[in-house]
Amino acid sequence: MRNTYYITTPIYYPSGQAHLGHSYSTVAADVMARYKRMQGFDVMFLTGTDEHGQKIELNAQKEGLAPKDYIDPIVDNFKRLWKLLGISYDKFIRTTDDYHKKAVQKIFDDLYKKGEIYKGKYSGWYCTPCESFFTDVQAKDGKCPDCGREVKKEEEESYFFKLSKYSEKLLKLYEENPNFIQPESRKNEMIKFIEDGLDDLCVSRTSFKWGIPVNFDKDHVVYVWLDALTNYITAQGYGSEDDSDYKKYWPADVHFVGKEIVRFHAVIWPAILMALDLPLPKRIFGHGWLLFGDGGKMSKSKGNVIDPNILCKRYGVDSIRYFLMREIPFGSDGTFTNESLINRINFDLANDLGNLLSRSVAMIEKYFDGCILENSEFSNIDNDLINMAKSLQSEYQKHMDNFHFSAALDKIWLLVSKSNKYIDENMPWKLAKEEESKSRLSTVLYNLCECLRIISILLFPFMPDSSKKIQHQLGAKEDICKWESSSKWGMLPLGFKVKKEELLFPRIDVDKEIEELNKIIENKDENNNDNIVKLIDIEDFCKVDLKVVKIENCEHIKKSKKLLKLTVNDGKNTRTIASGISNYYSPEQLIGRHVVIVSNLKPVKLCGVESHGMILAADCSEDDVKVIFVDEIPVGSKIR
């Protein structure tokens, strides 16, 4: 039996910072990957960045940077955000990776040798933000039919892929595999697109340089979409020496993509694979867009804070993951507002789930010292609850297997609500008053813990941290918190010990929170910056004494792996500074250089060395630090 599961996200353009829209596809793919792993599949979850093309070249030029220098920090930010959001990808591909570039060149050569690519002249319209070609008819009024921005007339010598000859084969593919494109509405769009007539596709460019050169014609770079689509196979080693992962995982079980790029994945990508005689992916799922609304007519908010870093910090990662997957059915568009997010947190998470957990655990602590020793006094009214809990797994699975994440969560919440109702119906506080009801009370509380155990297992793909926290509070061991045990009742062994911990989802005061968010929004407008920067007064800045010094001597500090001991001179005095840059520089690279120091820092002792100041350096990426050298500036100069 094939027990692998290969899932991909689109690879993102690092032409701007990672945002909540990107997080949407990535969180969804992560949920699916965790779900399949939980079921015992050998999962390959791929994501990455799509780094070539005209748009990136232009953006880099505007910043006065080489394209790679422009994208590196942005790619690091994508990775940082994925880490924050708990994205459990197995591989991250960058299309500037060497192995990918070589494999793309090989694919282009192969297609050419097979007669699938020919040389010609392109004349038509190009949308740079979408990196997409359009005919006169498609680009009516000089506007891109996808994004509405202006298109440019392009005329250049190009190679063409014989896409038009695949029309019939593609239509047959959709007919024979009704699930190949989902949801259904996207499939109908693709059928219409093909029936309107496919042109051959321009697959090389000569008017700019930032791309993978065509091996046999170096004036041409490979069209960015051909380069990008092949990532799904090159990342697994196709076209490289070690292609074992390709053999193991390809074809992909599903490509998750936004609705506007279904066309590339459902038309161009299978046609390329057909031309290469390679197996086709099993499914393309085109999800909808997260729209960023104005907060609604009655809203008190002055816009929306949509920076995922800020949202995770304020509300917790799991709440954001939950919201993204619950609020909008995966194939449809939906609006994000801070108010809808806060409401979901307050109602679903704090009131329903959080309360169920804290009430249940608190009552066991209060009435039984945290430990349930009996569960034998069942009543008929338990059957409904128990049956619902036992059948939840199969209902949930039906939805998850069809990527109906929101519906799967709905099912879980039916059990959450039922459990809360069960508390109200059984009134444990009343049972606690009568000694002879203690046995019934114990059974009622046991049943609640079993429901919570099952809920926590099925919630794991969506809210991994909270799921573990629930299990911890329940004192439920790992072996009864596996997928298999989510359809079984009575797994908690008598004598299990619960432990009340801090509230999983504290309730948010809506008015106060909107006020806080409005302050952030106002600040943001002033700064015109995606990240919130705390403003300081000029007086604060003037307190910092920045000076140019020359490094006269430098040596490693024996007791430390990171620190270098520097002797610097500002033209008048010499001082010692300990700086954590030894992983990035050797003493020889520093001696004689001019650098900037903060000269009025209070002295501190670091690994036995008294340090008088700090050297300015830039955190270029997670593992790259660059000292700011100012060799042309005279020693002693003050920086203001």
Interacting residues toward ligand MSP by CB under 6 A = 10-13, 21-22, 24-25, 50, 228-229, 231, 257-258, 260-261, 289-290
Q: What are phi and psi of 580, to 5 degrees?
A: -85, 55
- What is the rounded distance in angstroms from the CA atom of residue 198 to the CA atom of residue 525? 45
Minimum separation from the CB atom of position 289 to ligand MSP (A) = 4
Q: For residue 617, what are the β-bridge partners?
A: 627
Which structure tokens are listed for 473? 């509070």
At residue 445, the 3 state secondary structure works out as: helix
3-state secondary structure 236-290: CCCCCCCCHHHHHHCCCCEEEEEHHHHHHHHHHHHHHHHHCCCCCCCCEEEECCE
Q: Which residue, 308 or 613, is less far from ligand MSP as judged by CB?
A: 308
Minimum separation from the CB atom of position 577 to ligand MSP (A) = 42
At residue 201, the 3 state secondary structure works out as: strand
Minimum separation from the CB atom of position 632 to ligand MSP (A) = 39
Q: Which residue, 12 or 446, is less far from ligand MSP as judged by CB?
A: 12
Minimum separation from the CB atom of position 455 to ligand MSP (A) = 28
Which structure tokens are listed for 25? 């596809």
Q: Which residue, 22 or 220, is less far from ligand MSP as judged by CB?
A: 22
Q: Are 70 and 63 spatial neighbours (Cβ–Cβ below 8 Å)? A: yes
Q: Which residue, 74 or 463, is less far from ligand MSP as judged by CB?
A: 74
Which structure tokens are listed for 522? 């106002």
Q: Which residue, 23 or 456, is less far from ligand MSP as judged by CB?
A: 23
- What are the contacts of 259-264 at 24+ separation with CB within 8 A? 259/186, 259/286, 259/287, 259/288, 259/289, 260/130, 260/146, 260/147, 260/289, 261/10, 261/286, 262/181, 262/186, 262/189, 262/190, 262/286, 263/189, 263/190, 263/193, 264/225, 264/229
Minimum separation from the CB atom of position 22 to ligand MSP (A) = 5
DSSP class of 531: S
Q: Which residue, 180 or 396, is less far from ligand MSP as judged by CB?
A: 180
At residue 115, the 3 state secondary structure works out as: coil
Q: Which residue, 326 or 547, is less far from ligand MSP as judged by CB?
A: 326
CA-based diameter of the chain, in Å? 90
Minimum separation from the CB atom of position 97 to ligand MSP (A) = 14
Q: Which residues contact 509 (CB under 8 A, 6 or more apart)?
A: none
Q: For residue 204, what are the β-bridge partners?
A: 222
Minimum separation from the CB atom of position 284 to ligand MSP (A) = 11
- What is the rounded distance in angstroms from the CA atom of residue 317 to the CA atom of residue 517? 18
Q: Which residue has the tokens 């002797």?
A: 567
Minimum separation from the CB atom of position 192 to ligand MSP (A) = 20
Q: Which residue, 261 or 325, is less far from ligand MSP as judged by CB?
A: 261
Q: Are 496 and 74 spatial neighbours (Cβ–Cβ below 8 Å)? A: no
- What is the rounded distance in angstroms from the CA atom of residue 492 to the CA atom of residue 570? 69
Minimum separation from the CB atom of position 555 to ligand MSP (A) = 47
Which structure tokens are listed for 199? 């042109």
Minimum separation from the CB atom of position 81 to ligand MSP (A) = 13
Instruction: With both helix axes pointing from N to C terminus, report the angle between 20-38 and 67-84 in degrees, rounded to the nearest 10.
Output: 50
Helices (H), 115-243: 167-176, 184-195, 224-229, 231-234
Q: Which residue, 50 or 318, is less far from ligand MSP as judged by CB?
A: 50
Q: Which residue, 19 or 507, is less far from ligand MSP as judged by CB?
A: 19
Q: Which residue, 9 or 456, is less far from ligand MSP as judged by CB?
A: 9
Helices (H), 287-404: 308-315, 317-327, 338-344, 355-368, 380-401
Minimum separation from the CB atom of position 50 to ligand MSP (A) = 3
Element (H, E) at 102: helix 98-113
Residue 474: is it exposed, middle or buried by C-beta count within 10 angstroms (0-12/13-18/19+)?
A: buried
Q: Which residue, 11 or 474, is less far from ligand MSP as judged by CB?
A: 11
Minimum separation from the CB atom of position 166 to ligand MSP (A) = 18
Minimum separation from the CB atom of position 224 to ligand MSP (A) = 8
Q: Which residue, 13 or 92, is less far from ligand MSP as judged by CB?
A: 13
Which structure tokens are listed for 463? 């809210």
DSSP class of 507: P
Q: For residue 158, what are the β-bridge partners?
A: 120
Position of minimal CB gap to ligand MSP: 258
DSSP class of 150: B
Minimum separation from the CB atom of position 18 to ligand MSP (A) = 9
Q: Which residue, 50 or 348, is less far from ligand MSP as judged by CB?
A: 50
Q: Which residue, 289 or 367, is less far from ligand MSP as judged by CB?
A: 289
Q: For residue 292, what are the β-bridge partners?
A: 336
Minimum separation from the CB atom of position 265 to ligand MSP (A) = 7
Which structure tokens are listed for 134? 């359009």
